[in-house]
Amino acid sequence: MELVTDWDHPAWHLPPTAARTGPFPRPSFLRAWASLRRTSVALAVGEDAALALHLDDDLVTLAGSPDVTDYHSPLGDGVERLAAEIAEKLRGRRFRFDSLPEEAARPLGAGLRAAGAAVDSEQHHVTAVVELPDAYEEWLRRIGKKYRHEVRRKRRRFVEEIGEPILVRRAGAAALDEFFRLHRRSRGEKGRFMTPDMEGFFRSLHDDGDAVVDLLVVDDRVVAATFSFEEADTFYVYNSAYDPDARHASPGIVMLSLLIEDRIGRGTRVFDLLKGDERYKFQHGAEPRPLYVLWGKL
């Protein structure tokens, strides 16, 4: 096993051990994160697996802090062997590996324990994942009578009070500026979230990480925006913001239902609302995907 800092190393191209983990194990995301945190990433490379690490004195964590990283996953198939080699290479250091789907946590934990590391584990988060049907009406049926009525009622109310909404996919600086503007207009912690450094992070993800911006537009007014990732048959909603002057018309919920309708029409099979157990996610048909944390001493 070797530790490398080369963003072009071929091991970055290994498939994630845990499927449907989006851009988060990939160099485009982790490079943006390293720039945001002004730090470095060490890729542990084994024979047929790799794992992106952050080394901080005697603490080893997974590259990508949990406040902005929804999934962690090793790359490749030989994860147990790689985990054992990491334990031997970094013996004596503390570690904390968070945000791992079960299919990533299991081989990592097994390899660490096989090498004699002291390992504790627990479920500590969930992501909210919607399996999409072939038709929007089928999705409405699945969410049940109560929430089906709510989706339709809120869309009617939005039309009556704001106007007919149109979902628009935009690219480039202008779309990002609209997304940032809505964030800064938000109240409380959300309004303070979009610092200049965080703007730079999102710009990097958009320019280098294939992120997309969708806008909810009424006439020429942008009422809500989402910042998402798409790959193969999966769509990941990473962040969102809406105009607080329109909050009485539930723009976030209207946009979510329009996004789901749009993605169903495009053949998307999985609509991932990522970390968080907010009630609205499960009202829209999501099921929890458990995430685990491993910690201890190597």
At 59, the pLDDT band (50, 70, 90 cuts) reads very high
Residue 159 predicted with pLDDT over 90: yes
Contact 100, 108 (CB under 8 A): yes
**Fold match between domain 2-126+290-297 and domain 133-268:** yes
For 2-126+290-297, CATH gives 3.40.630
Over residues 78-98, the mean pLDDT reads 98
Q: pTM for the whole thing?
A: 0.95
DSSP the chain: -EEE--TT-GGGGSPBSSSS-TTTTSHHHHHHHHHHHT---EEEE-SSEEEEEEEETTEEEESS-TTT------EES-HHHHHHHHHHHTTT-EEEEEEEEHHHHHHHHHHHHHTT-EEEEEEEEEEEEEEP-SSHHHHHHHTHHHHHHHHHHHHHHHHHHT---EEEEE-SHHHHHHHHHHHHHS-HHHHHH--HHHHHHHHHHHHHS-EEEEEEEETTEEEEEEEEEEETTEEEEEEEEE-GGGGGG-HHHHHHHHHHHHHHHTT--EEEEEE---HHHHHTT-EEEEEEEEEEE-
Q: Mean pLDDT over all residues of the chain?
A: 96
For residue 88, name the pLDDT band (cuts at 50, 70, 90).
Answer: very high
Domain ranges for the chain: 2-126+290-297, 133-268
pLDDT band for position 172 (cuts 50, 70, 90)? confident
Flag whether pLDDT at 60 surpasses 80. Answer: yes
| Gap between the Cα atoms of 201 and 195, Å rounded | 10
Mean pLDDT confidence for 236-253:
95
Is 90 exceeded by the pLDDT of residue 190?
Answer: no
Q: For residue 150, list its beta bridge partners.
A: none
Q: What does the pLDDT average to over 190-203?
A: 91
Query: What pLDDT band is residue 103 in, cutting at 50, 70 and 90?
Result: very high
Flag the least confident range among 16-20, 68-72, 174-178: 174-178
Give the rounded percent of residues in the chain with a pLDDT score beyond 90: 93
What confidence score (pLDDT) does residue 76 get? Answer: 98
Please report, rounded to a whole number, the percentage of residues in the chain having pLDDT higher than 70.
100
* For range 278-294, the mean pLDDT: 97
Closest by alpha carbon to 64, among 105, 86, 104, 36? Answer: 36
Across residues 126-146, what is the average pLDDT? Answer: 97
Superfamily of domain 133-268: Gcn5-related N-acetyltransferase (GNAT) (3.40.630.30)
